[in-house]
Amino acid sequence: MATAASVSELRVVLMGNSWSERSSVGNFILGQTVFDTEDKTFCYVKVRGQLKDKEIVLINTPDVLLPEMSEDRLRQYVENCLRISAPGPHVFLLVLQPEHFTEEQKLKLCRVFQLFSDQSFDRSLNLISTTRWDKKQHQPLQDLIRGCRYKYIKLENLDLQELPWHLSQIVINCEEYAEMLKLHLTPKDKGQLICDTKAGLSTELKAAPFKPTLNLVLCGRRGALKTSVVNTILGKTTFGPPANSSECVINQGEVCGRRVSLVELPALYGKPPETMMEESFRCVFLCDPEGVHAFILVLPVGPLTDEDKGELETIQNTFSSRVNDFTMILFTVDSDPTDPAVVNISQENKEIRDLCQSCGGRSVVLNVKDRMQVHEVLDTVEKTKKMVKKNRGSCYTSKMFQQTEAAIEKEVEKILKENEEEMRRKEEELKRKHEEEIGAMKQRMDELLKDIEKNKEQEQEMRREDDENRKKQEDTQRQGWDQRPGDVETKMTPESDETQIKLEHRSDDVRKERRKNFSQRKEKSPETMENMKKRHEEETNELKQKQRSRCIIL
C-alpha cells in the first residue's frame, strides 16, 4: 500500500512533436535545466522536482509521432509510459507546434490515447508553443483540442503559479486510471494499482488544499466595457483590451481579502456554432474545479440593442436556461449611479425590467470610476450563490455544460433526422412527379413519332399513286402517238404538263401539311427529355441546399 508521501506527487507525461520543445517546457516548469534539449528520439527521461508546494514528476517521452512508428511500437510506447509513471500518469501535457502538427500526427496521437484509455482525452492539457496561432489554418490541432474538451494554454501565457491549479483540476475532474491499466498489468499489479490510486486521489486532495476562489464570468457584447469592469473590481489599470477579443481571458486578484477570478467571455452572437461552444466550454473550464459562481452580464445603461438581445439569446441557448439562476446584471456608468436619469432608464424600460426579472431581480449599477462600489457587486454575487444553494444547486460546472451540450446535440440530431426524413419524402415526391412528367413526355414523343411515321407512309403512298398515274398517262400518250402521230405533240403535251403540275402541287401540299403537324406537336411538348432531367436535378439540388442551410443555422 502506498503511503501519503509516495502518492502525493503529480505525475505528468510530456508528449508532442519535438523533443527539444518538450525539454524546454520541462526545464521551464521546474525552474532549472534538467532536461537535455538535444534530440533524444528514443529515450525516456524521468525527473522529480518541486512546483510551488507540490512534488511533481515530469516524464519526457520519445517522439511517438514519427512516421515510422508502427502499431506494435505504439503499444510498446504505451506500456513503457505506464511502467515509468507507475502506478499511472495523472496528466498528459501535449507540447505542440501548430505549423508542424499534421493530420497524420493527429491520428497517431489519438491512437495512442485509445491504447491508454478513452479517458486520456479528458486527462490531456494542450500547451501551444507558438505565439501566433490561427485556428483556421491549423485544422488538425483544432480537431485535437476539440477532442480534449478545449483544454489548452499558450506557452506565452503559462503562469507557473497557476500551473499546479490547472493540472490538479484535471485530476479532480477525472477518475484514476485503474480501468485503463487492466490490459497492461499482472493481477498482482492490478490489485496494488487500485489500492494506490484510490488512496492517492483522496490523499492528494487533502494534501493539496486550494484557497477558495470566487469565480466570475463576465458576459456581454462589449469587450472594452468588460475590461473596464475587471479593472474596477481588481483595482488595477494594467489590464488592457485583450490582444485577441475572440478568446477567453482570465484575470485574478484579491478583493476584500478574497481571491477573485474574472473570466472575460468574448461576444458569442453571430459567431460560428463551433466557436461559440469552444469558448463557452473554455470559460467554464477556466473556473474548474469549483465551477462558475456567477455569470455577470455587463451592459451600459440604456435601451437594449438588437445585438444585445441576440447576445442574451445566444448565451441562454449555449448554457441552457439554467444559466439565469447563476446570472446577475451589471449596468455600467461613469457617473453617479443614483442619478435620476440613470435610475429612470433602468426602471422605466420594460425590456430591461423583464431582463432583470428573469435573473431574479439581481442587478447593480456600477460606476467604473468608483471602486468603493465593488462591495455591492460582491454582495449581489453572494446573494446569487445563496439562492442557488437554497435551491439545492451548486456552481455552474463543466459537467453541467457537457450535459447541456449533449442535450443540444441530441436535439440537433433529432431535428436533422426529421429534416432528413422530410427531405427524403420531398425528394421521392419530386422523383415521382418527374417520372410522371417524363412518362407523359415519352407518350407524347411516341405519339409524335407515330404521326411522323404515318405521314411518311402517306407521303410514300401518294408518291406511289402519283408514279402509277404518271405511268398510266404516259402509256395512254404512247398509244395516242401510235394512232395519231401528227396530233400527238399538239394534243398531249398541254394535258401532260397540266397533270404534272397538279401532281407536284399536291406533293408540296402534303409535305407542308406534314411539317405543320410536326411543328404543332413540337410546340405542344413543353420541354424535351433532356430539359426534364435538368429541371429535376436543379430542384433536387435546391432542396438539398435548403437542408444544408438549415443545419448550419442550427
pLDDT digit string, tens, across residues 497-507:
565 666 666 66
* 437 shares a domain with 321: no
What's the pLDDT tens digit per position in 123-166? Answer: 888 888 765 666 666 788 888 887 777 777 777 767 676 677 67
402 within some domain? no
- Residue whose C-alpha cell reads 413526355 in the numeric block: 441
- Structural domain contains residue 406: no
Our CA angle for 377, 317, 378, nearest 5°, is 10
Residue 221 lies in a domain: yes
Tens digit of each residue's pLDDT (9 = 90 or more) over 67-116: 777 888 888 888 888 888 888 888 898 888 888 888 888 888 888 888 88
pLDDT at residue number 16: 85
CB-based contacts of 71: which residues, under 8 Å, 6+ apart? 111
Q: Before 289, cis peptide (omega within 30)? A: yes
Cα gap 306→464, rounded to integer Å: 85
Averaged pLDDT for residues 331-341: 81
pLDDT at residue 175, as a whole number? 46
Q: Give just the sign of the alpha carbon dihedral 358, 359, 360, 366.
A: negative
| Cα gap 222→318, rounded to integer Å | 18
Number of domains, the chain: 3
Q: Has residue 408 been placed in a domain?
A: no
Residues 383, 440: one domain? no
Q: Rounded to an integer, what is the distance from CA 390 to the centroid of its chain?
A: 36
Percent of the chain with pLDDT strictly greater than 90: 5
Provide the domain limits for residue 499.
Answer: 414-553
Position 172 scores a pLDDT of 64
Task: For residues 339 and 452, state if they share a domain.
Answer: no
- Which sign, positive or negative, has the C-alpha torsion 39, 155, 97, 284? positive
The residues, ordered by sequence, that sit 6+ positions from 485 with a Cβ below 8 Å of its Cβ are none
pLDDT at 531: 66
pLDDT at 490: 47
Same domain, 268 and 391: yes
459, 508: one domain: yes
Same domain, 219 and 188: no
Does residue 82 sit within a domain?
yes
Q: Which of 396, 429, 454 is the last residue of a domain?
A: 396
Distance CA 534, CA 546 (A): 19
Contact at 8 Å (CB) between 39 and 47? no
Kindly state whether residue 194 falls inside one of the protein's structural domains: yes
Same domain? 518 vs 501: yes
Q: Same domain for 293 and 378?
A: yes
**Do 168 and 203 reside in the same domain of the chain?**
yes
pLDDT, tens digit, 9 for 90 and up, residues 532-543: 667 667 777 776
Q: How confident is the model at residue 219 (pLDDT cuts 50, 70, 90)?
A: very high
Same domain, yes or no: 240 and 268: yes
Is pTM, for the whole model, over 0.75? no
Residue 81 lies in a domain: yes
The reported pLDDT for the residue numbered 145 is 80
Phi, psi (rounded to 5 degrees) for 527: -165, 155
What is d(CA 239, CA 502) in angstroms, rounded to the nearest whole number? Answer: 106
Write down the pLDDT at residue 365: 87
Same domain, 227 and 356: yes
Q: What is the CATH number of the domain that holds 366?
A: 3.40.50.300
172 plus 272 within the same structural domain: no
**What dihedral angle (degrees, nearest 10) is formed by the CA atoms of 315, 321, 325, 329?**
40
